[in-house]
Amino acid sequence: MFSFVRCFENFVETDIKPSCAVFVKVKDSEVQLTMKFPWSHSTLVEVLKNESKLHHKCDKLCEEISSKKLDISEFVEELGPALTHEDSSIRMKATQLLSEVLKNLPTDLLTEKQLEFLTAFYCDRVKDHHSVIPAILDGVLALAGMKSFPNGSGSKLASALFLNIPCQSQAKDERAKYFRFLSVLAEHNQDELKAMGADFVYGVIGAIDGERDPRNLIFLFEYMPTFLRQYPLLHLGEEMFEIFACYFPIDFHPNQSDPEAITRDLLAEKLEQCLCGAKEFAEYCVPLLLEKLESELIVAKLDSLRLLIKCTQAFDLPSMSKHLDDIWNALKLELMPGGGNKEIFDLALEATTQIVKFTQQDHQVADHFLTTIFMTVMGSIADVASKMFENGIKVALACAKATPESAHFVANKLLPMTLSQLNGETITEQEKLSLIDVLSRTLLVCKGHGILKEMEQQLVGAVQKQFIQILVQESDASELKKIALSCITRIPEAVVDENRFVVYTTIIHVLLSSSDERLNVEDCLHEFAVQYGTEVGNVIVDKLVAKKYEVVTSSTERVFHALAKLIPIECMRAKILKFFLGLVFEECDHESLTILALQTLQLVLETPDGTSVAIELCDQYKFIEQCVTLVHKEGVQHSSDLLFALSNTMKDTMKQLSAEKQKTIVTEQLPSMDLTKANDLYLTSGILGYLDESISVEDHFENLVDNLTKLAMNNEDEHVKLLSQQLLCSLFNRMPDDDHHRNILLKLLKMLRSELKSHNKKVVGILSWIGKGLLARGHPEAGEIVDDIAELLDHPTLGHTAALAFEILSVEFPQLHLPLIKNLFKQKLFMLVMKKLEQSAGKYAENHLKALLYVYKPTPHLVLKMNIKKVSLFD
């Protein structure tokens, strides 16, 4: 074991006579060190003078001390001549070496006894020359973080620094170390430092007072709220608050050349936490923010309002209640009429809401505060013609938003006043709009608090009556009707029976007539259906699905889309699905209605409820089987448009099914498909279009490829060509990577390249779709296909088609399913194209430029920037 004896050495007479201490190790006889200090006393000073790479020695010393080959006491003893040298630069380097070693040692290595004497050493060194101070701060920071830091040492170090090292006299980096030291010390030595009483708090105040560096301020503003929670301020509350108050509001302009510049807003946000960091700050914080709120500076007003909102979260009501009248008087100036700045006005409204919410801790205080506000705005909200009417309404509703109690208070005053003005004889149309809007906004706030059913029903009924009268009397183009319907849409639960049937009549009338589409009855229908499902089903849905629709009009589309929104509602789903499926599978004289029904089902399948709808379509209505039966029905001809819509709806249905359900359908239906017939292509596309990658179609692969290729090359119908090409794309994207399937691909490519000699434009399209599928999965043949198409850009008859092929290669298609997508495939296409075309940049013709534009458009901007020289064709 080791013990330490403190001894002092006298300095040679110099201008600077620091009181220096070193530590001498006394060995127990049984302990032997295994390493000798790397320098002798005679060479140590010379080494410190001339050695430029002491950090390497530091690393070695740390290793030896950590492995117990060198004891820290011996290390300090051997440093003695340098630590007490008459030259301050030598003392600085020696202290720096010791501090660096301490910084790099494991925090659990040193014992309490060792740390106690090291603490005494550093307490003595704080009186040394100012050039030594940075090294001392490094050392004390390292000591404070040691796990065995002894009780009593924290107060000694803190007192020594407070008395001998004025923080604000140090350089920026040293001040940062000082602050970190205080934070570490305060975090781990609370009982000891609290015992220092006001001395420790006063020392902290002195250390941070006057700090100007933004990074140091960020550190302080982030740490000090923790300090304020942990340490009582005693009689120093005002002094501590003034330390932060001098920065408010923050006046700071970041250095534009700083890559990690600190912003003014960040400093302001962190400062708020400090200004509200202690309960005793309430006495000083509110007067401060009210004073700054009077400033003409926008930033000062905004910071003051944000601080006011923060106060409501940090302080209790008793500490702020005496300021409430002053707070409202200050807010009133920003709101009635205000200075014209919207940001300030909106923040003042938010502050009003938060203050009202804050006062609800005491109902008497809350009622008094709300009454004071209403006395201020009463004159404005009682006269719709007043210039301050809208501002007054916004203030009243800001109060209502605070709590259910404040909403009751405001509604009971505001609604009667508004209804009274609506009955005035001289009211203009615009004023009526404003008043109806006030009724709507007030009820919506009340709904937000869930108090509609608790309000005086006679009052709510009177408001409803106004809305219902508008629905009955106003034209569909009326702005009043739009506002009334919008409000009723959002409060269906408050609409009484007799009024609901007026709403239903309005909905049916608007949907079945060519009314202004700005009148949003679809949302109204949905909200009432959610609230009154059976009633809406009987009154509205039954009537809409029973109607005989003969042609597709804008009204028909509105009805279908309105019904589609109701399908997710369980009690509505069956009758609406039967309606749409009846138009598809039963006799329908108008094919356009069948197509619209299919397109409407697609919209439903693409919603979050699409999975449950798809499962019901397949399980209960056998949708896929019915589609096959419909297409295979003898003697019935269907248009390409209808078959295309049917195929897309089948695809969207399959997309929502599990792999297991998909596999069952494929197993049952795919063998019966005859792709020599175009009609079966639509069915096959519907079944395979979104097939899960786990489902194998290997048994059908070669036959599918042959027949799809023939359809794509020989059929003139655009839908047939597109579906066959997209299926080829999907099949080659998912094909197994084996010799058999690779040979099928190579055989097909050979045939297509041969067909190109006859200038067949359809072949270019087929190549582009196959290339797209292969490119997405990262197949090596994709590059060859891109080369083939690129070579055609100069072709006199195929050049334009080749340019369009690059659009197919590049663009995403919503109805195309590619199970295998390799990362960065768009970048791969970009690199393939640039490699092929960059050599002929000077010869670019129109087709080349079109192709490049198609490729550039979806390419990530970062890739374009990285290849800017290649992209810039005309450098």
Q: What is the pLDDT of residues 191-246, one digit of tens each?
A: 999 999 999 999 999 999 999 999 999 999 999 999 999 999 999 999 999 999 99
Q: How far apart are the first and last CA of the chain?
A: 78
Q: What is the number of H-type helices and E-type strands within the chain?
A: 47, 2
Which pair of tokens denotes residue 377? Answer: 């705005």
Phi, psi (5° rounding) for residue 532? -130, 65
Tell me if residue 360 falls in helix, strand or coil. coil
**HEC string of 211-251?**
CCCHHHHHHHHHHHHHHHHHCCCHHHHHHHHHHHHCCCCCC
Confidence at residue 44, expressed as pLDDT on a 0 to 100 scale = 64
Bond from prior residue into 249 cis (ω within 30 degrees of 0)? yes
- The pLDDT of residue 5: 33
Spatial CA neighbour of 436 closest among 482, 499, 400: 482
pLDDT the model gives residue 42 = 53
Which residues fall within 8 angstroms of residue 26, CB to CB, at 6 or more apart?
Answer: 2, 3, 4, 5
Place of tokens 């009609």: 679
Query: Measured between alpha carbons, how far is 193 from 202 in angstroms, rounded to an integer?
Result: 12
Whole-number pLDDT of residue 33 = 38
The answer to whether 158 and 196 are in contact (CB under 8 A) is: yes
> 787 to each of 753, 784, 836, how far by Cα in Å?
12, 5, 7
User: Cα(811)–Cα(72) distance, rounded to whole angstroms?
Assistant: 69
Let me know: does 542 contact 575? Beta carbons within 8 Å: yes
Phi/psi for 786 (5° steps) reads -60, -40
pLDDT at 875: 41
Residues 6+ away with beta carbon under 8 Å from 742: none
Predicted local distance difference test score (pLDDT) of residue 14? 32
Query: DSSP state, 538?
Result: I
Q: Which of 698, 694, 690, 679 has its CA nearest to residue 738?
A: 698
Compute the distance between CA of residue 200 and CA of residue 180 in angstroms, rounded to an integer. 15
H or E segment and range at residue 138: helix 133-144
Enter the tokens of residue 719.
């839908």
**Residues, the chain:** 875
Encoded tokens for 550: 């003969």
Task: Write the Ramachandran bin of 68: left for phi over 0, alpha for psi from -120 to 50, otherwise beta.
Answer: left
| Distances from the Cα of 451 to the Cα of 220, 418, 447, 547, angstroms | 45, 19, 6, 40
**What pLDDT score was predicted for residue 790?**
86
d(CA 161, CA 177): 12
H or E stretch at 682: helix 678-688
For helices 404-422 and 429-448, what crossing angle results, to 10°?
160
Counting other chains too, the contacts that 363-372 makes at CB distance below 8 Å and 24 or more residues apart are 363/405, 365/317, 365/321, 365/324, 366/405, 366/406, 367/409, 369/324, 369/328, 370/399, 370/406, 370/409, 370/410, 372/324, 372/325, 372/328
In angstroms, rounded to a whole number, what is the distance separating the alpha carbons of residues 252 and 262? Answer: 9
792: left (phi over 0), alpha (psi -120 to 50) or beta: alpha
pLDDT at residue number 858: 66
Tell me the C-alpha distance between 634 and 639, whole Å.
Answer: 15
Instruction: Kindly report each contact of residues 519-524 with a partner whose C-beta sits within 8 Å and lies 24 or more positions away, as own/partner.
Output: 519/476, 519/481, 519/482, 519/485, 520/482, 520/485, 520/486, 520/489, 521/485, 521/562, 522/558, 522/561, 522/562, 522/565, 523/489, 524/485, 524/488, 524/489
Burial code (b: 16+ CB inside 10 Å, e: under 16) for 368-394 equals ebbeebbebbeebbeebeeebbebbbb
What are the beta bridge partners of residue 23? 6
Q: What is the mean pLDDT of each run of 10 residues along the chain (875 residues)?
A: 34 34 38 48 63 65 78 79 83 88 89 90 90 93 93 94 94 95 95 94 96 94 96 95 95 77 91 96 96 94 97 94 95 89 96 97 94 94 94 97 96 95 88 94 94 91 92 89 92 90 94 79 95 95 93 92 95 95 87 95 94 96 95 88 95 95 95 91 94 90 93 91 94 92 94 90 93 89 88 88 88 82 71 66 68 72 61 48
| Helical residues (DSSP H) of 586-622, grouped into ranges | 591-605, 610-619
Question: Looking at residue 8, what is its pLDDT?
Answer: 32
